[in-house]
């Protein structure tokens, strides 16, 4: 297959590139800069089989007004340009896999893809608008899947790279009260789930990219301490996290409990369904 990836330089994009190239697919990097014409983007998409859109500024950070604008523009403008480019193509990709996030859900319910309990904060609105823009590409020629990512864990980058060092230094601990639920996915399962969606054309619409077993922050902290053989008493109070990240602290303190109903009902099997299994693999990779 000919697979175009927008956002290929990131943690997820790099893993996808490696995976698809190893299985013999042609992988093309696509950069959509501000002001680029849809026509020029369409030329790069013409005749390709799959478009994977991961573009967007890192959600982890202090959400100043300017950074919130960057978070929106880097996602919505890029996606809008891609959607317009797809409409121009004579032979567009048959599949668009567009990134999204479980941040679209509220913090008070359990969720699968059919949940009606969506959040109303900045992150939920951003994810909603991002998906709305992407689904405009849905047509007889192109099916669209919105991949609602949980926290992505894997060796060598992503959230785990920021977490392991403090734990190895004995500075690990829960955030806030630790009761917030974390919906997560191992990078290997995320990559395999992308390939699964490409190969299963009957699946379309919203798809949760999360492990079937969410975990609380406190449970996660204890598991990391046990597997890394480190103490876990250096807790971060809610006010400290809010002081450091402002509104962006919601990414770490809000509860998100989402389940991958669509993937499981379609027959996808997780290689790392539990946090312990994922953490064991990542810790072993660090050795």
| 54-58, 255-259, 276-280, 283-287, range with the lowest pLDDT | 283-287
Q: What is the rounded average pLDDT of the residues 255-271?
A: 97
Query: In whole angstroms, what is the distance from residue 139 CA to residue 147 CA?
Result: 18
**Average model confidence (pLDDT) across the chain:** 93
| 3-state class (DSSP) for residue 233 | coil
40 closest CA partner among 48, 49, 32, 51: 32
Q: What is the rounded average pLDDT of the residues 240-244?
A: 79
Q: What is the rounded average pLDDT of the residues 140-150?
A: 97
Query: What pLDDT band is residue 17 in, cutting at 50, 70 and 90?
Result: very high
Query: What pLDDT band is residue 82 in, cutting at 50, 70 and 90?
Result: very high
Give, in order, the Cα–Cα distances in Å from 112 to each of 28, 47, 201, 212, 253.
32, 34, 20, 10, 20
Which CATH code is given to the segment(s) 2-152+185-210+258-265?
A: 3.40.50.720
- Indicate yes or no: pTM above 0.85: yes
Tens of pLDDT, residues 153-204: 998 887 887 788 778 778 788 888 999 999 999 999 999 999 999 999 999 9
Tokens coding 205: 């619409």
Quick one: pLDDT at residue 258? 98
Quick one: pLDDT at residue 286? 52
Quick one: pLDDT at residue 287? 52
Query: In whole angstroms, what is the distance from residue 141 CA to residue 81 CA?
Result: 18
Q: What is the rounded average pLDDT of the residues 79-104?
A: 97
Query: With 90 as the cut, is the pLDDT of residue 143 above it?
Result: yes
Q: Where are the domains of the chain?
A: 2-152+185-210+258-265
Percent of the chain scored above 70 by pLDDT? Answer: 99
Tens of pLDDT, residues 108-119: 999 999 999 999
Q: How many helices (H) and strands (E) does the chain have?
A: 11, 13
- At CA 180, angle to CA 215 and CA 129, rounded to 5? 100
Quick one: pLDDT at residue 32? 93
Say if residues 273 and 211 touch (Cβ distance below 8 Å): yes
Query: What pLDDT band is residue 209 in, cutting at 50, 70 and 90?
Result: very high
Query: With 70 as the cut, is the pLDDT of residue 271 above it?
Result: yes
- Range list of H helices, the chain: 11-22, 38-45, 65-88, 122-134, 158-168, 187-199, 217-228, 238-245, 250-253, 261-265, 275-286
Query: What pLDDT band is residue 205 in, cutting at 50, 70 and 90?
Result: very high
């Amino acid at each position: 297959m000919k697979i175009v990836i927008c956002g290929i330089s990131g943690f997820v994009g790099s893993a996808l590139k490696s995976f698809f190239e190893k299985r013999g697919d042609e992988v093309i990097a696509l950069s959509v800069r501000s002001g680029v014409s849809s026509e020029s983007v369409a030329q790069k998409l013409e005749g390709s089989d799959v478009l994977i859109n991961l573009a967007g500024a890192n959600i982890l950070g202090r959400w100043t007004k300017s950074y919130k604008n960057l978070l929106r523009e880097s996602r919505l403008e890029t996606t809008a340009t891609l959607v317009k480019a797809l409409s121009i193509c004579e032979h567009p990709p048959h599949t668009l896999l567009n990134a999204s996030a479980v941040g679209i859900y509220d913090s008070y319910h359990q969720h699968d893809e059919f949940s009606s309990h969506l959040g109303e904060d900045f992150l939920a609105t951003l994810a909603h608008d991002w998906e709305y823009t992407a689904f405009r590409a849905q047509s007889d020629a192109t099916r669209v899947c919105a991949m609602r990512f949980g926290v992505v864990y894997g060796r060598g980058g992503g959230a785990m790279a920021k977490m392991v060092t403090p734990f190895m230094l004995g500075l690990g601990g829960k955030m806030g009260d630790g009761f917030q639920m974390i919906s997560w996915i191992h990078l290997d399962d995320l990559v395999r789930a992308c390939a699964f969606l490409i190969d299963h054309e009957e699946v379309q619409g919203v798809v949760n990219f999360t492990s079937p077993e969410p975990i609380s922050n406190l449970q996660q902290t204890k598991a990391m301490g046990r597997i890394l053989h480190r103490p876990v008493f250096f807790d971060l109070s809610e006010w400290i996290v809010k002081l450091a990240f402002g509104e962006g602290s919601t990414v770490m303190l809000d509860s998100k409990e989402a389940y991958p109903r669509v993937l499981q009902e379609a027959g996808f099997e997780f290689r790392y369904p539990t946090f312990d299994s994922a953490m064991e693999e990542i810790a072993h990779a660090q050795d």
